[in-house]
Structure 1
Amino acid sequence: MRLLFIGDIVGRTGRSALVNTLPDLRRRWNLDFVVVNGENAAGGFGITESICDEFLAAGADCVTLGNHAWDQREALVFIERQPRMIRPANYPAGTPGRGANLFEAKNGARVLVMNVMGRIFMDPLDDPFAAVERELEACPMGQMCDAVIVDVHAETTSEKYAMGHFCDGRATLVIGTHTHAPTADAQILPGGTAYQSDAGMTGDYDSVIGMNKTEPLQRFTRRISSGRFEPAEGAATLCGIAVEADATGRAIKVAPVRLGGRLAEAVPSFW
């Protein structure tokens, strides 16, 4: 099974990179399943229903979120009728939407996707490890599903690594999001789970994590806010991770993906 995860889409330039690139990637790489993190897609903050629909039409099978899930208030409503959009599973009981869902891949495989948010330097939500354990017990890989993808939206690499080892052998991919910088640690853990601390963002890297440089620099150097953050609008680099899994759902190949924009290109050599 061929899986692709694409990191945080930031603003208009990130959306354009995804929509213009993903259909061709699905065809050329013969992808079975694609997950996109879309929590920064609408002007850098949240996602709208029309943007979610645009991503799904371009070839995404599922859209995950994070700490900006509700920045566009309409998301609280349309997430209830959009089963292919997943918010963090460790939000409190009663939060709209779902934190995990089971999908059918192009090859007929059953793929469980879940999204959790870290707690270090983040909002103090429920325990992400308990939330993941609950979903893994309810839908174990090799029994109720053929592959498992866990999007860990977190600030620290330590918390993400801990989640990777916690899921090792029980998930196909544990992928970090949120920090918007692709890490160089794509690997397969001993139990067969592919892991990378951060997929990176899909946005303009001539920026401060996707935002126009002027306002972040003003706040860092003078501690004064002079306006709101706005997404940078230069050419975007599409960033993510490619995984090939065997019949058991365990990863056998993994590679970072970087296409376009300012970063050095990286593509999987095995496809």
Structure 2
Amino acid sequence: MRLLFLGDVVGRAGRNAVVERLPSLRERWRLDFVAINGENAAGGYGITEAICDDLLNAGADAVTLGNHTWDQRETLVFIERQPRLIRPVNYPPGTPGRGANLIDTPSGRRVLVINVMGRLFMDALDDPFAAVDRELDACPLGQVADAVIVDIHAEATSEKEAMGYHIDGRASLVVGTHTHAPTADHRVLPGGTAYMTDAGMCADYDTVIGMQKEESLRRFLQKTPGPRMEPGLGEATLSGVAVEIDDRSGLATRVAALRLGPHLEESWPRFWD
């Protein structure tokens, strides 16, 4: 099975890049499943129903979220009727939406997608490790799920790495989001789980983590309130991670970074070309 995960989509530039490029990438690489983090898709702050539909129609099978999940108030409503929009699983009981879902692929395989938020330097939520354990116990890889993707939306590298090792052998891919800077540590862990500390962002990289430089710099230099930060408007780079998994075990056999666009050195899964 061939999986693709795309990092945080930031604003219109990131959305346009995904909508324009994902359909051809899905066909070119014969992708079985695509997941995208969309928590910054609406002007950098949350996601709307129309934007979620655009990402799904472009070829995403699931859209994950993070600490900006509720920035658009409409998400509180439409997330209940959109099973492929997945918010962090460790929100308190009774929170709208779902933190994990088992999604059928066109080929008949089933992929469990889990979104979880870290606690170091983030909002205080329930224990992310226990929350993920519960989902994996309820839907184990190789028995119920043909593949498992875990998006850990977290600030600390240590917390993301700890999650990777904690569930190594029980998930196909553990990938970090939130910091918007793609890391170079993609690899297959000893137990067979593909891992990457941060997938980066689908956004204009001539920015400060996707936001226009001027206001970001002013805030650091002056330390005074100012206007709302806005996403960069330049051409976006797609960033993420590609994984090939064994159809019998659901574990990873190959992993590669994806970076397509200006400002960063391009990289793609050459084993699929």
If the length of structure 2 is used for normalisation, what is the TM-score? 0.99
Aligned to 1:80: 80
Measured in 1, the distance between the counterparts of 2:106 and 2:175 equals 21
SS at match of 1:106: coil
- The aligned counterpart of 2:269 is 268
- Alignment map for 1:1-271 (pairs within 5 Å): 1-247=1-247, 248-271=249-272
Determine if contact 1:6/1:240 at 8 Å carries over to the other structure: yes
TM-score by length of 1: 0.99
TM-superposed CA distance for 1:225, in Å, is: 2.0
Residue 108 of structure 1: how far off its partner (Å): 1.5
Percent of aligned pairs with the same residue?
A: 69
Gaps of 5+ in 1: none
For 1:137 and 1:226, the matched residues in 2 are separated by 47
- Structure 2 distance, partners of 1:79, 1:226, is 32
Contact persistence 1:218–1:225 (CA under 8 A): no
SS in 2 for 1:28: helix
User: How far has the Cα of 1:269 moved from its partner?
Assistant: 1.1
RMSD value, Cα: 0.5
Runs of 4+ in 1 over 3 A off after TM superposition: none
Is the 1:146–1:249 contact (alpha carbons within 8 Å) kept by the matching residues of 2? yes
Q: Distance in 1 between matches of 2:30 and 2:107?
A: 10
For 1:24 and 1:157, the matched residues in 2 are separated by 32
For residue 176 of structure 2, give the secondary structure of its aligned residue in structure 1.
strand
Task: For residues 161-199 of structure 1, give each alpha carbon's deviation from its aligned partner in whole angstroms, at most 9, with x where no partner exists.
Answer: 000001100000000000000000000000000000000
C-alpha distance in 1 between matches for 2:107 and 2:76: 32
Q: Structure 2: which 5+ runs fail to align?
A: none
CA distance in 1: counterparts of 2:160 and 2:179, whole angstroms: 11
CA distance in 1, matches of 2:2, 2:230: 35
- In 2, Cα distance between equivalents of 1:145 and 1:178: 26
The CA distance in 2 between the partners of 1:107 and 1:229, in whole Å, is 42
Alpha-carbon separation, structure 2, partners of 1:103 and 1:171: 15
The AA in structure 2 aligned to 1:183 is T
